Structure 1
Amino acid sequence: MSRSAVNTARPAAPSRAEQAAGRVAALARDSEPGTRLGTKEELRAQCAVSVGTFNESLRLLQARGLVTVRPGPGGGIFSSEPSPMVRLGNSVLALDARETDVAEAVRIRDALDPLLIEDALWHASPADFALLRGQLDVMARAVAAADAVAFVRANWRLHAQIAAISPNALLRSLYNNLLDLIEAHTLGVLPGGEQPLGEYIAQRHELHRDIVDALERRDRDAALRLIREHHTSPPTPGGGSPRPDSP
Structure 2
Amino acid sequence: MSTLAHTMMTAARPADSGLASSGDLDRYPYVEAPGADRVGPPSWEGAETELGRVGRRTAGSRGRGLHGQLVQQLGQMIVSGDLGADRPLVPEEIGQRFEVSRTVVRESLRVLEAKGLVSARPNVGTRVRPVSDWNLLDPDIIEWRAFGPQRDDQRRELNELRWTIEPLAARLAAGHGREDIQQRLSDMVEIMGHAFAQGDGLTFSRADAEFHSLLVQLAGNRMLEHLSGIVGAALQVSGAPATGCERPGESCLTHHARIVDCLAAGDAQGAEAAMRQLLTVHPEPGGVVPAPREH
Taking structure 1 as the reference length, what is the TM-score of the superposition? Answer: 0.50
Q: Which residues in structure 2 correspond to 1:54-73 (within 5 Å)?
A: none
Question: For residues 6 and 233 of structure 1, what CA distance do their matches in structure 2 show?
Answer: 34
Distance in 2 separating the partners of 1:179 and 1:231: 13
Map 1:22-171 to 2 at 5 A: 98-171=151-224
Q: Which residue of structure 1 aligns with residue 81 of structure 2?
A: 15
Deviation at 1:137, TM superposition (A): 1.9
Q: 2:289 aligns with which of 240, 243, 246?
A: 243
Q: Percent identity?
A: 20
Structure 2 unaligned spans of 5+: 1-12, 19-54, 58-72, 83-129, 133-145, 283-287
**Contact kept? 1:96, 1:186, Cα under 8 Å:** no
Number of positions where the alignment pairs a residue of Structure 1 with one of Structure 2: 154
Q: Give the aligned residue type for 2:258.
A: D
> Which amino acid in structure 1 is aligned with residue 276 of structure 2?
R
State the TM-score, normalized to the length of structure 2: 0.43
**Which residue identity does 2:56 align to in structure 1?**
A
Tell me which residue corresponds to 1:223: 271
Where structure 1 has 5 or more consecutive residues not aligned to the other structure, the ranges are 17-52, 57-94, 190-196, 235-241
Q: State yes or no: 1:210 paired with 2:258.
A: yes
Paired residues of 1:113 and 1:227 also in contact (CA < 8 A): yes
CA 1:141–1:167: 2 relative to 1, 3 Å: same
Letter in 1 for 2:167: P
Distance of aligned partners of 1:127 and 1:5 in 2 relative to their CA distance in 1, 3 Å threshold: farther
Q: CA RMSD in A?
A: 3.9
Which position in structure 2 is the counterpart of 1:19? none
The runs of 4+ residues in structure 1 deviating greater than 4 Å are: 4-8, 95-99
Alignment partner, residue 229 of structure 2: 176
- Max radius of gyration: which structure? 2
Q: Give 2:30's aligned residue.
A: none
CA offsets 1:56-91 (integer angstroms, 9 cap, x no match):
9xxxxxxxxxxxxxxxxxxxxxxxxxxxxxxxxxxx
1:112-165 CA-to-partner distances (Å, cap 9, x unmatched) read 122211221111311111111111122112211223344233212211100111
Q: 1:207 to 1:105 in 2, by over 3 A?
A: same
* CA distance in structure 1 between the aligned counterparts of 2:17 and 2:255, rounded to whole angstroms: 28
